[in-house]
Amino acid sequence: MKRRTLYIVGGVVLAALAIATLVSRPDPVAVETATVSRGMVGETVTNTRAGTIKACQRARLAPPSGGQIAKLPVKKGDRVQAGQVLLELWNDDVRAELKLAERDAVAARARAEEACVAATVARRESERLSKLVASSLVSIDAAERAKGEADSRAAACRATTQNIKVAQARIEQAKASMERTLLRAPFAGIVAEINGEIGEFVTPSPVGIPTPPAVDVVDTSCIYVTAPIDEVDAPRIREGMPARVSLDAFRDRTFPARVRRVAPYVLDVEKQARTVEIEAELQDIATATLLPGYSADIEVILQEQPDALRIPTRALIDGKRVFVYDAAAGRVHAREVQVGLRNWEYVEITSGLEEGDRVVTTIDREGLVDGARAVASETPTKS
């Protein structure tokens, strides 16, 4: 009887211990995992602060002299060609001066023609009298007077011919004055901004005091990004390196680019963040309208491995460890790994993992320790 009682008490104690163990046992940690696979991994460098989309050519134009706007043959958004008139100031007085100079040139040519014809006639007369002197038909004095007249007429011809050049120079001067009242496109592009209306007065910007341009022309056929790179990463970047550009305006899409300039100086804008400015020209802009002023990020590709064993970078802990999920046991185990190339998205694994392993990508979950029970779901990854 006593033995039976002991068995019952022992069973109750064991049951109580089992219940206590189950109650105190922590719940499985819910984690997300990614499968170790092969794919492209590149070592890249990115900008420290947001960059800016810029046009290779942009001109903020204003007339060289002040005046009243008489004509605005273009409007915002218009495509213009190089040399096309964008704005014209009142210039009736200059136009009248040009017409007067052109009429003077016509008169100068007529006077020159008259003087040169007279010089030709005088020369022939002098030659004829010189021949008659030998036959004693004309006196020497008459022949010399004829020669002097011919020389005088020839000089008058040369003088009036020079007057034609003077008149032409006045025309060019008037045309130059006319051009100062015209604002022309320096290159083909799009009119981005117009500051002014017909009848308003515009004045050039005073020295050291910037004012809004009368017309802003942008050539969007060539677009580049300028962005700051940390001074530590800058020495590895060279002109011609491939790059990828991402924009907030075009999410889930990147644009191929190529580094076209690395600044030969360090920007000391912030005391603890010295940077070097780089520029990357976009290669494929035909499929999207990229407006100057958009914010953008540059990812310069230093080197690439097309068939690397890779995991998402967010799964890496302290640069050398990962949590591997054991689906059969329902647990996670810490494992040391060695890495190669890496970027913000993927890291190359050179040892410590095999293709098909599942690594935890949510490494900040509470209770995630070596050997912890876990319930996993697969995280979708990019190819």
Residue 15: per-residue pLDDT:
57
Per 3-state DSSP, the chain is made up of helix, strand and coil in percentages (nearest 5) of: 30, 40, 30
Q: How big is the CA angle at 63 (ends 57 and 69), to the nearest 5 degrees? A: 120
Which residue reads 């290669």 in tokens?
283
Fold of 26-42+306-378: 2.40.420
Rounded-to-integer distance, Cα 339 and Cα 211, Å? 54
Summarised one tens digit per residue, pLDDT across range 276-322 is: 999 999 887 777 777 888 899 998 999 888 899 999 999 999 989 99
Q: Which residues contact 336 (CB under 8 A, 6 or more apart)?
A: 320, 321, 352
CATH architecture designation of domain 63-89+183-202: Beta Barrel (2.40)
Q: What is the pTM of this model?
A: 0.59
The predicted pLDDT at position 11 comes to 62
- Which amino acid belongs to residue 82? A
What's the CATH code, domain 46-58+219-304?
2.40.30.170
Q: Which two tokens stand for residue 192?
A: 């981005």
Closest by alpha carbon to 368, among 58, 17, 27, 113? Answer: 27
User: Which residue bears the tokens 């009736």?
Assistant: 92
Read off the pLDDT of residues 324-348 as tens digits, 9 standing for 90 and up: 999 888 999 999 999 999 888 899 9
Q: Tell me the domain boundaries of the chain.
A: 26-42+306-378, 46-58+219-304, 63-89+183-202, 92-179
